[in-house]
Structure 1
């Protein structure tokens, strides 16, 4: 069996020039945010535990806990809202098509019976309120002419709904059933977020015009605004009230968060400006915030989640981050007692994780090229990208040394280092292989067939090259030349991955036709066959350090672990390991395996042989 030990969750999807609206459940200290088709539940006091809901058919945009904390309503770009359980495998309660376009915000009524959603739609339908159990409408929402970016339910009776959006308007509705009451036009740019105070006496709107305006909760009359003195210098993207309704937290494109004291008459003055960690680049713009119990949560454009203490804002904040895009490669570095895991995503970000601790920082690279894949040894990272270049990067703690860039003249397909002398690297291309020693290309060999995968023995004496035709070609390496020794035929589709076992006595191969094979290196006979349990192409493969297990990861979202010497029917299957497919696998030790995938998450599993 395999049990999930840790999840290094993805960060919220962000978009330049737009805020994101995160939410939480004060009772459990959990927060909700979205990335791709996933809704992520993170516990602020247990960051290595994350629960992910992945049943939306389209990219998700917003999610909220019901008032009792038992249900979650989540919405996506197609205008669909799904309501599902927090516990019991996230059982689906209801699904409704609410708007004809993207939903940007939604809120539950305080009694948990109704939901209001706002966003983009056809005609004038930018807002809809409905019963959570039947989906029936509870009002008409006229008055907006453009996308409605945010909506809020008054948390006390009599119920009211307020909305705001790209037409610079703030609209107020009475009900239920809800109908238009009045419109306020105090802002001169997009109104990005509206929130009622928990006691229901006021609501606040924040805008790209750098202003925050406060209104009476019952009548929607303007009562005050956030002082421009010491105010934000950029668009304000989000706002969140303190539990006692006396303060608000705002975040802005000016890269700061501010805590404001709200007076009885409805004006706000800055109590504290919070500076979040970062280098001051565009990625450090703040786009989301949440005041939850004693946690002040901010989210940056680059996905950094920072937690400040509300009771002691001077205390050093805790920051954690991760990937926003598909994680395509993994490596495990055993430094002293701590296992360090490196993961790289499609957008070129390399993150270091420490087993048992989690996020440990991003590797600062001098060039920001996209990374297709990488190989790593203790002191060095070798990467290849979509630009025909291989880069050798020395590792110096959380920094990368001076990069050596090698142009191999064609698109790399696979990359392998010899573990005993890592200066020797084998790179496969469409038509052959390139051998590197250090940063020098020592040979470029056209093999005369379409190459799809490759491997090099740990001592550099042998290479295996896989073809489009499913054949494995074994070459001996002498100096900088390859000599073909034999051709192995077993696969019925193009090879996708080949890896030697750590002791080099075996090698394993996987193909697009979902089959994996383990071979004996000396006899070149099949050692483990009929490994045909995936339902789609095999993307990655890893050996345990003691050579006793081999794991495969597939486009079918599963990881399968086989024990050498036991029939494949004894396999251990991790179903749904990564939504969208598994793209990275590595063993930390004999029983711990790390996986990564399309869902931008990295997961650590403990394997117990059957």
Structure 2
């Protein structure tokens, strides 16, 4: 049996030049944010307490709790809103097609009976309000000519809705049923966010013109604005009110967050504290989202890092939550003093994770190389990407030091390190294999067949190369010479992955036709077969440290763990391990397997004997 022990969550999806929306539930102190087709539910007090909702068919843009915290409404780029329960395995209540294009924001009415959504649409259909149980429209929203970026429901009666967007307008609607009341065009650029104060007496709009304007909550008359003194020097992307309505938090492209004191009548806002966010000062440190929830001030950078400040102690250094934003395609594990997992993602990011703690640092490949393969030992990280290069980063040196790399002439398909000879790396390309010694090409062999996977033995004296034809070619390595010793035929599809067991007595291989095989290394005979329980291509496999188990991960979202001493039928299956497929696997001990996948999350599973 396998139980989920920990989830290392992905970071929020971000987009340059646009704000993102995160929301939360003050009662449970959980926040919601989106990445790909997933909605992440994360507890601010316990950051490793993460749940994922992955039932949308398209990338999700926004999610919000209902006022009573029992339901969540989430919307995606196809214009669909799904309403689902926060308990009982997220049972679906309703699904409505609300707009013809992407939904950028949605909000519940204070009584939880209505939802307003806005975004992109055909004609002038940029905003729609509807009943949460039937989907019936409750008003007409004229007045916008371009995409509507944000909407807000007045939290007290009489109900009002305010919207803003790319036409520089802030529009005010009475209801229900809702109808146009008035429009303000005092901003000179995109209006990115609009929010009512908790008591409904005021609302504020922030814009790419670096201004924040304050309005009366009942009449929508402008009553004040944020002071330009110590103000933002870049586009303001998001705003959030304090629970008592006396302060606001704003974030900007100028890489700062600011806490403002708002006067009682709303006629002015003065900077109380500027929060400089930790980072290197690059583009990724632009701030694009924020939330003030209970004592937490949450900011989100373009690079996906969430910084958590204490509202009661603004001078206190923030804690950071970070992770991948794209498909995590490779994993490696370092024993060391701190058990550390290294993960590499498609966008060229390598993240270090400490078991039981979470993210402990990240390395961005300086040339933006997209990572395909990753291997590591205590001294170094070796990675290959889609840029025909193999790179090396020394683990014990300054993280900012540029990676060394060598161009191998064509795109690497696979790479592996000889465990007992750290400087020896085997890289496979489409037409052959390359042996690297301290990142220098020792030999480059054209094998005459299409190569799809490879592995090198821990002593560096043997290599196995898999082909498009499903055959396994075993080579002996002597100096810089590879000599073919045998060809094994069992697979009926292209070889996708090969790995030696830690005790070097066996090796396992898997293919694109969903089959895995365990071989005895000495006799080259099949040791465990009939491993045909996936329904799609196997992407990755891993051995337990004691060589008693092998795990496979597949496009079918499942991880399957086999015990070598038992028949394949007595397997452990982890279903829906990762939305979109499993791409990385590694054992951290004999009873814990860690997986990664297309959902950009990493999960640790505890195994117990059946």
TM range (shorter): over 0.9
CA deviation map 1:351-372 (0-9, x unaligned): 1110000011112655432221
1:382 Cα offset (Å) = 1.1
TM-score (normalised: structure 1): 0.99
8 A contact 2:348–2:365 mirrored in 1: no
**Residue 547 in 1 paired to residue 547 in 2?**
yes
For residues 17 and 543 of structure 2, the distance between their equivalents in structure 1, rounded to whole angstroms, comes to: 44
After TM superposition, list the pairs within 5 Å mapping 1:11-410 onto structure 2. 11-266=11-266, 267-336=268-337, 338-363=338-363, 365-396=365-396, 399=399, 401=401, 403-410=403-410
8 A contact 1:174–1:181 mirrored in 2: yes
1:304 Cα offset (Å) = 0.6
8 A contact 1:519–1:526 mirrored in 2: yes
8 A contact 2:348–2:364 mirrored in 1: no
1:460 Cα offset (Å) = 1.0
1:423 Cα offset (Å) = 1.2
Query: CA 1:281 to 1:400, structure 2 compared with 1: closer, same or farther past 3 Å?
Result: closer
Deviates more, 1:430-439 or 1:147-156: 430-439
For residues 239 and 137 of structure 2, the distance between their equivalents in structure 1, rounded to whole angstroms, comes to: 28
Aligned to 2:467: 467
For residues 594 and 379 of structure 1, the distance between their equivalents in structure 2, rounded to whole angstroms, comes to: 22
Aligned to 2:444: 444
8 A contact 1:393–1:400 mirrored in 2: no
1:400 Cα offset (Å) = 5.9
TM-score (normalised: structure 2): 0.99
1:393 Cα offset (Å) = 2.0
8 A contact 2:456–2:463 mirrored in 1: yes
1:474 Cα offset (Å) = 1.0
8 A contact 1:191–1:205 mirrored in 2: yes
For residues 560 and 544 of structure 1, the distance between their equivalents in structure 2, rounded to whole angstroms, comes to: 13
For residues 319 and 404 of structure 1, the distance between their equivalents in structure 2, rounded to whole angstroms, comes to: 29
8 A contact 2:246–2:262 mirrored in 1: yes
Query: CA 1:196 to 1:131, structure 2 compared with 1: closer, same or farther past 3 Å?
Result: same
CA deviation map 1:70-108 (0-9, x unaligned): 100000000000000111111110000000000000000
Equivalent position SS for 2:89: helix
CA deviation map 1:396-421 (0-9, x unaligned): 26616553321211211110110000
For residues 347 and 391 of structure 2, the distance between their equivalents in structure 1, rounded to whole angstroms, comes to: 16
Query: CA 1:597 to 1:223, structure 2 compared with 1: closer, same or farther past 3 Å?
Result: same
After TM superposition, list the pairs within 5 Å mapping 1:394-543 onto structure 2. 394-396=394-396, 399=399, 401=401, 403-543=403-543
For residues 185 and 402 of structure 2, the distance between their equivalents in structure 1, rounded to whole angstroms, comes to: 54
For residues 122 and 320 of structure 1, the distance between their equivalents in structure 2, rounded to whole angstroms, comes to: 38
Equivalent position SS for 2:569: helix
For residues 181 and 576 of structure 2, the distance between their equivalents in structure 1, rounded to whole angstroms, comes to: 48
CA deviation map 1:230-288 (0-9, x unaligned): 11111000000011111110000011111111112211111111111101111101000
Equivalent position SS for 1:445: strand
For residues 427 and 525 of structure 1, the distance between their equivalents in structure 2, rounded to whole angstroms, comes to: 26
For residues 383 and 112 of structure 1, the distance between their equivalents in structure 2, rounded to whole angstroms, comes to: 50
1:110 Cα offset (Å) = 0.3
1:609 Cα offset (Å) = 2.3
Segments of 5+ residues of structure 1 without an aligned counterpart are none
Query: CA 1:419 to 1:165, structure 2 compared with 1: closer, same or farther past 3 Å?
Result: same
8 A contact 1:452–1:495 mirrored in 2: yes
For residues 40 and 402 of structure 1, the distance between their equivalents in structure 2, rounded to whole angstroms, comes to: 33
Equivalent position SS for 1:5: strand
8 A contact 1:375–1:382 mirrored in 2: yes
Query: CA 1:586 to 1:217, structure 2 compared with 1: closer, same or farther past 3 Å?
Result: same
For residues 187 and 76 of structure 2, the distance between their equivalents in structure 1, rounded to whole angstroms, comes to: 28
1:384 Cα offset (Å) = 1.0
CA deviation map 1:531-556 (0-9, x unaligned): 01101000000000000100000001
Aligned to 2:556: 556
